């Protein structure tokens, strides 16, 4: 058991299989055997660190979608919606790691304003055409 936990090594995004194998092996132990595992804290720390890395990777992907929005135009709706959907899909712990969420909020606001102006101008053009 100690060797399975030690085999986890430095925790990275590709450590999931090693962590899961160690956890499965630990969970199969009897209570008496579990008391003999002296490095159980290494397993729990690896699980926590792995979860944090996964949250960070997901947050980084959302940040990239937000950054990809660029300058907001009337054609930005799809990119903004994709970024919003990705952000909303994150668990709360992941959302807290998104550092450019304010950019998404500003883009949504800018798109709404541009759409309102476009609809106003389209309506105005239709009225002028009727005269």
pLDDT in tens, 1-58: 889 999 999 999 999 999 999 999 999 999 999 999 999 999 999 999 999 999 999 9
The separation between CA 70 and the C-alpha centre of its own chain, rounded to angstroms, equals 19
Whole-model pTM: value is 0.76
Residues recorded for the chain: 131
Contact assessment for residue 6 and residue 39, using Cβ atoms and an 8 Å cutoff: yes
Q: How many CB atoms lie within 10 A of CB 69?
A: 22
Residue 41 CA: distances (Å) to CA of 29, 81, 128 = 16, 42, 74
Nearest to 12 by CA among 62, 56, 59: 56
């Amino acid at each position: 058991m100690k060797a399975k936990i030690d085999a986890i090594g430095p925790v990275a995004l590709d450590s999931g299989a090693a962590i899961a194998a160690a956890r499965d092996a630990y969970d199969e132990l009897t209570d008496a055997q579990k008391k003999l595992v002296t490095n159980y804290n290494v397993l729990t720390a690896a699980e926590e660190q792995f979860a944090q890395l996964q949250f960070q990777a997901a947050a980084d992907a959302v940040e990239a979608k937000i950054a990809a929005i660029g300058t907001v135009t009337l054609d930005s709706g799809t990119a903004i919606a994709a970024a919003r959907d990705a952000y909303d899909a994150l668990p709360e712990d992941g959302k807290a790691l998104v550092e450019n969420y304010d950019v998404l909020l500003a883009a949504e606001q800018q798109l709404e304003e541009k759409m309102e102006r476009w609809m106003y101008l389209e309506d105005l053009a239709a009225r002028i055409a009727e005269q």
